[in-house]
Amino acid sequence: MAGRNRSARVRGGWAAALCLALLALLVGCGGPDRPDPASGEVTRLLDRRAAAVLKHDAEAYAATGGPTAALANLRDVPLASWSYRLTGLDRDGAHATATAELAYRIKGYDRAPLKAQRTLTLERHGERWSVAAERPAEKAAEQLWDQGHVDVVRGVHSLVLGAGSGERLEEFADRADRAVPAVRDAWPGAWPQRVVILVPKTLDGMAGLLGAPASGYQGIAAVTTGEAGGAAKAPADRIIVNPEAYGALGDFGEQVVITHETTHVATRAHTSPATPLWLSEGFADWVGYRGTGWRATQAAPELRRAVARGQLPGKLPEDEDFGFAGDAAKLAQSYEGAWLACRMIADRWGERKLTDFYEAVGDRKKRAGAVESALRDVLGTTPEEFTARWRTYLRTELG
């Protein structure tokens, strides 16, 4: 009995000694690492910066650090929201580089925040962090205010934002205000019936807004950006103009382009991965030319020349045929052939059948079988019959 108690005391003594040794080891090593408070401090800094931008408060913005030119560039832009979400922080003493997701909405136009990836260079002075510089993240697209002061023109159905191109912004607003009713008359689906147009100063400026090489957009007058599908979630699209190519079009061509791009905005909720480019681009051109009185020989000169040479297309254009960096003549033929396919549907089956066909294709989740099913269910035909009818239509209209 006594021996068992003595053994227990020995074991208890060893256990206590072991605990003391472990405690000493932890104290000697400084214990668990403390979390770096910089992340929370930088998050609060970005919150203050966002609030200053939203209120156009130059003094509060300057207090967060860095040049104030960006805020001045944004002075006339009607913002509904502006916020940063810290996504990364690389700290080296009193210096750090932060990556953040910027989310913002333009008042009256954006249904949900548009998001942009930003990089901020930070410096610590005493107990506070401040921003030394803010720029687009690596490989991310620029924002218009990164390119200079943003001039703003409001139309009845449009908001036009330009950087260094203020003298023409009224014209863009006028064209957009004519385009919206034209699209509304052609497209029965619900859409916001307003557009935002971005007008950079140069082709390089357009490429910067798209985050892509300028070489891929030479000769392209405008493009529309945005998320396909999900009308309730997708933010408003942006029509981005290439001022160099757009300016060479003339009055009629400029109006067709803006109406074409506005059509993309209107049809976005029914444009999905199932929608082939010949349908989305052809339909937009169909709306652009609708009611203008232009004949096929006028609007499809490249394809007319190909048909005259006996080079009648054997099939509808494929997605890769619409690449901007390819042969310009082949690109034009792809757009013209797509337009004539949609024009044929409107002529043969009726305009409402054309819009029903567009919706039926876009409402599918995947490309496989989408067009085939819509041809059968909406137009009562097959891909083979449709293609043969289209080729005959080309001969008739362009011959």
- Inform me whether the pLDDT recorded for 209 exceeds 50: yes
Measured CA to CA, the distance from residue 192 to residue 110 in angstroms comes to 10
Measured CA to CA, the distance from residue 385 to residue 368 in angstroms comes to 18
Overall size of the chain counted in residues: 399
Q: pLDDT at position 323, please? A: 83
Interval 340-363 mean pLDDT: 98
- Inform me whether the pLDDT recorded for 377 exceeds 90: yes
Interval 149-166 mean pLDDT: 92
Please report, rounded to a whole number, the percentage of residues in the chain having pLDDT higher than 90: 80
Q: pLDDT at position 166, please? A: 65
Q: Which residue has the higher pLDDT, 165 or 308?
A: 308
Q: pLDDT at position 14, please? A: 40
Q: pLDDT at position 33, please? A: 53
Q: pLDDT at position 50, please? A: 98
Tokens 């493009």 locate to 223
Measured CA to CA, the distance from residue 43 to residue 84 in angstroms comes to 8
Residues 6 or more apart whose CB falls under 8 angstroms from that of 21 comprise none
Q: Please, what are the domains in the chain?
A: 38-140 (3.10.450.50), 142-269 (3.30.2010.30), 272-399 (no CATH)
How many angstroms from the chain centroid is the CA of residue 315? Answer: 30
Check if the beta carbon of residue 203 is closer than 8 Å to that of residue 242. yes
Q: Which residue has the higher pLDDT, 329 or 156?
A: 156
SS3 317: coil
- Inform me whether the pLDDT recorded for 233 exceeds 90: no
Predicted TM-score of the model (pTM): 0.86
Q: pLDDT at position 29, please? A: 43
SS3 117: strand
Rounded to the nearest integer, the mean pLDDT of the chain is 89
Select from 150, 161, 328, 137 the least CA-distant residue to 240.
161
Tokens 């200079």 locate to 148
- Inform me whether the pLDDT recorded for 10 exceeds 70: no
- DSSP codes joined into one string, 238-294: EEEE-HHHHTTSHHHHHHHHHHHHHHHHHHGGG--TTS-HHHHHHHHHHHHHTTS--
Interval 203-217 mean pLDDT: 92
Measured CA to CA, the distance from residue 185 to residue 114 in angstroms comes to 28
What's the pLDDT tens digit per position in 235-275? 568 999 999 999 899 999 999 999 999 999 999 999 999 99
Q: pLDDT at position 66, please? A: 87
Measured CA to CA, the distance from residue 265 to residue 280 in angstroms comes to 11
- Inform me whether the pLDDT recorded for 7 exceeds 50: no
User: Residue 165 — pLDDT band, cuts 50, 70, 90?
Assistant: low
- Inform me whether the pLDDT recorded for 79 exceeds 80: yes
What one-character DSSP code corresponds to residue 147? G
Tokens 């066909």 locate to 357
Residues 6 or more apart whose CB falls under 8 angstroms from that of 363 comprise 270, 272, 274
Q: pLDDT at position 9, please? A: 38
What's the pLDDT tens digit per position in 20-59? 343 333 344 444 455 678 999 999 999 999 999 999 999 9
